[in-house]
Copies of this chain bind each other. A is one copy, B any other.
């Protein structure tokens, strides 16, 4: 079923109206009177609606049912990714959204080759948030993951350490597997932190350990920096009983 997003403020009452980009999207899809659509506030609430009128630039909906979004994972996984080159970050935002991440946090680390320009940061963030929104629509998410930018590795560690299960994936770690880490304590919120193209430095990994991160391996093959978070996210969702 087609899904649209509105702000929580707009998503009230028994009748809703799609306008702007939503109406344009409905036109592209040739939606017709009588068809059902989902309208979500992007924060976990959604309305099942029937199309009552279609006019140029406006689509009127009758709300059939208000409910909690059924497609959201119970586990909250935050993806912490050291800045890779821009196209890779966009790939990770898109795919992590599809795979059910609750937020994507990007930050610089010692070997980050590419860092977004300070002056274009607002525009970049807007673009990245738009990617998360469109991936949410396509994958039927009830919640749009927030894209968060942090100015330092230290701030990423401090924020990431607040979940039940802060994990850092490091290619030189061999002893501790993700399985071992996940079996240690119960968890319902997880942070998964991965490095940039050149990897994390040993000192950074040590810092993370001191902040409470468990350092673990993703297997004996060398994963590209954009593959590692998606592989880890898939495995955590599986381990959480999502599929």
Interface residues of A (CB under 8 A from B): 70-73, 95, 98-100, 138-141, 177-179, 216-224, 227, 230-232, 234-235, 237-239, 241-243
Residues of B within 8 A of A99 (CB): 221, 223, 227, 231
- Docked CA distance A178–B232 (Å): 16
- Docked CA distance A3–B193 (Å): 27
How many protomers of this protein does the assembly include? 2
Question: Are A179 and B231 touching (Cβ within 8 A)?
Answer: no
A118 to chain B, nearest CB (A): 32
Residues of B within 8 A of A242 (CB): 219-220
Question: Are A223 and B71 touching (Cβ within 8 A)?
Answer: no
Question: Are B243 and A179 touching (Cβ within 8 A)?
Answer: yes
A99-B221, A178-B243, A217-B243 given; 15 more Cβ-contact pairs under 8 Å? A70-B220, A71-B220, A72-B220, A98-B221, A98-B223, A100-B219, A140-B220, A141-B221, A179-B238, A179-B243, A219-B243, A231-B237, A234-B235, A235-B237, A235-B243
Question: Are B98 and A227 touching (Cβ within 8 A)?
Answer: yes
Question: Are A138 and B224 touching (Cβ within 8 A)?
Answer: yes
Question: Are A221 and B177 touching (Cβ within 8 A)?
Answer: no
A48 to chain B, nearest CB (A): 15
- With A178-B238, A238-B178, A238-B179 as known contacts, state yes or no: A243 contacts B227, CB within 8 Å: no
Residues of B within 8 A of A219 (CB): 73, 100, 237, 242-243
